[in-house]
Structure 1
Amino acid sequence: MKTLTAFDKNSFIKAVKLANKEIFDYINNQISFKDYQYSNTIGFGGDNSLNFDLTAENIFIKHLEKFGNIYSEECGFLDNNSEYTIVIDPLDGSNNFLNNLPYYGTSVALKKNEKVVAGFVTNLISSVLTYKIFEDDVKYFSLKDNLYVQSENFSKSNLAIFERAYKFPNICYKLNENKIKFRCLGAVALSLCDARNYDFVLFGGEHREFDIAAALYICEDFFTHKSNKFLLISKNKLKFEQVLEIIKEI
């Protein structure tokens, strides 16, 4: 494996696109019953990996390892003696994938030393890759059509996302009491990345770097609250403050 001596931004963007395109094409043209079976391998994140989790991870490693160290949900840390580390969730929403619920994707964050400098989140159903790198503007790219596309940006959104809502029935009650509509979709990186489309995105429970690093960088200009128990993102200051008060009561 040859490591790059200097980081090439455009080559990295191309490599992330190629990796996601290979995964997207695999799902649509090569997927088999075996991919939906558990590997009986406990990944670094603590879950029993699906065979497809491992396939997707290997695709990412093949395309990205030359750019730096790899830190992935399945294999853990692969040290390539680089100042750059690529943080990967090769299948965000594994249970959705397993149960044919069409909401799952991938997440890739790039860190220079300990600072996140890029985030890439791909919806493997819509084929749209959302990314931001080195403080550039957020971009949206269709893997299926191989072209840049406009974002879904609803200025009059009236729906929120509450990931892992089932763990916090008291907050669900409070949100309902305040007539706030919400859904629990089951793919954290995708939901956080798409915060611009919703009133807010709230994630309750343990925060793993694989789940949140890329999406947080993409949405770094939004109002954000992060504690040991909750992560809240919203483009709307009033809605952000309203929900923050609710979760602070818990």
Structure 2
Amino acid sequence: MTFETDVRDLYDAEERRGAVTDRPGAVVERAGAVVRQCAPDGGWNAVVWSDLREDTADAEIAAQVAYFAGAGVPRFEWKLYGHDRPADLGERLGAAGFVAEPAETLMVARTAEVGAEPPALPDGVRIEEVTDAAGVDLMMEAHRLAFDEDHPGLREQLLGRLEAAPQTLMALVALADGRPVSAARMEIRPGGSFAGLWGGGTAPAWRGKGIYRALVAHRAAEAARRGIPYLQVDASPDSRPILHRLGFHALTTTTPYIWTNPTTT
């Protein structure tokens, strides 16, 4: 066995088969051969794990479409990993009306190996932890600059987490002379082996200056303080080489397949 195989198996067991809800009001349940989250109040609806065979896959896909359509959700995601079976599951999802979004790479690092020597920040840049609505608004502005799009649903999700379960979230914003230029968060499952790094994005004019790496190191230090052994990222092609240099290993790919409810559009 290798690091990649061992840790991928642990990730599947804890974060997929043993998934827990990411927000108040959502439900995570095992339903036959899948684990799914349903959040009909506007949260993330998804199939996060499946154990399908060639002779059962199409019927299971249809059953999940019927379930989420019956719940009235506008869309749901089938989070497909590169090692999921059957091997043609992506094609079967496409035939059932799902649309694939760009693939990312599931990368994991040992927490102790990341962030030991955080890079120096540029002059005038500081990192602040977000604890209230004003800080979340700064994060949203940083995301808008980084990704050229708004994330209204994310704002409400972060506010809800900070209010209901602040121990499960670390949110950060990087400020340059008081203006937001980058933001990121870490999602924490108490007692779990993985801390998830999400949302890292930097305004174009501030890229290549070590801010992204500093945000990774800052979160790694907190994860180490909490005794969490691994960090996990769904890495874009842009961030993958940076994370590789920081000690992250590529375990598999992950592709969001999105089904949109025709009755709610």
| Alignment TM-score > 0.5, same fold | no
TM-score by length of 2: 0.27
Q: Give the greater-gyration-radius structure (CA).
A: 2
